[in-house]
Structure 1
């Protein structure tokens, strides 16, 4: 899911009931489907930039998606990219890649001209599957380490990295993240059923 306007979001789907992308209007206590963009693909991650969508498919392919459902391949990663987000500072799409192979990229940057740059690789602070990802207004990247049980903040080029949350603080299998100003929210897939699929709110310091 990603926002398009103040009151509109788009949602990807990989089931027969939500196949492609749905444009949804958000009102008080009400969600309304405005239209469906049928891309004929099992889509997962989605980001919105300059009137177009960037989407990811099971297996590692990332596409540009037009409003009428046409797709153009941007890049094919080795593994599935579950989450995408838009970097408003550079105009790039930031990609999280689900991989456990040492040396493979877990965070990548895709430009509009299809260039890709590895920002972080397996073997550093994020170990194993890379999950939720977001970018703040200054271009800092926030990523959930699903297997390393941490949430990491890094500079846009990946040269400066710090852990915001770790397993020592009780975080387990963080899955999705959203950053707004000096606040961020994280959901998880904790093995503890009492803390699974909860949303945790944190303040940046």
Structure 2
């Protein structure tokens, strides 16, 4: 799911070849976009939706004319997470469980960081949850620096979901089973 402005969201489903735009105020389907692959994990940026298209890599669809552009040709064996900041795109690398930073043409700027889940802070830092490494790492907006924020000592056991609240500078991290923690981000 991705927020599009104040009144709509884009919703994907890994078993579908369409992306649905939902009007959140009227609580109704606004539009269905037909895409050329199964899709999932989506982010909105400047009138475009960027999504994982499984074996077709990362694709971008224009909300104006519905044209589809390939960003990467990487064949993913599973859904990858994707987020943006400025002119950079951060995505997980499927079965390799790492993060890559690239431009909107798919040119890799940096890669590494063993991960599973991504979220982005307002100022451009990317937070990464390492499900198998029981940690959370923050990556700088340029993708060149990182530091470990949280570990198993902070209660992490297979962290599976992240959400950063810009209004409070809090990071919500949920483990795969029944525990979630709220951390102050400084």
Give the TM-score of the pair, scaled to structure 1: 0.76
Write the mapping of 1:86-165 to structure 2, written as runs, cut at 5 A.
Answer: 86-87=84-85, 90-100=86-96, 106-121=98-113, 126=114, 130-165=115-150
Give the alignment's TM-score, normalised by structure 2: 0.82
Residues in 1 aligned to 2:180 and 2:109: alpha-carbon distance in whole angstroms: 31
Q: Which 4+ stretches in 1 moved above 6 angstroms?
A: none
Give the count of matched residue pairs. Answer: 182
2:170 paired residue number: 183
Give 1:166 deviation, angstroms.
1.6
Alignment of 1:1-205 (within 5 A): 1-16=1-16, 19-27=17-25, 31-59=27-55, 61-67=57-63, 69-77=66-74, 79=76, 80-87=78-85, 90-100=86-96, 106-121=98-113, 126=114, 130-181=115-166, 182-190=169-177, 195=178, 200-205=181-186
Q: Assess, with a 3 A threshold, how the Cα gap between structure 1 residues 155 and 66 changes in structure 2: closer, same or farther.
A: same
Q: Which has a greater percent of strand?
A: 1
Encode CA deviations 1:44-97: one digit per residue, 9 max, x unaligned: 12111110111112246111113355422211235445211121xx23221122
Unaligned runs of 5+ in 1: none
Q: Which runs of 5+ in 2 are unaligned?
A: none
Alignment RMSD: 2.5
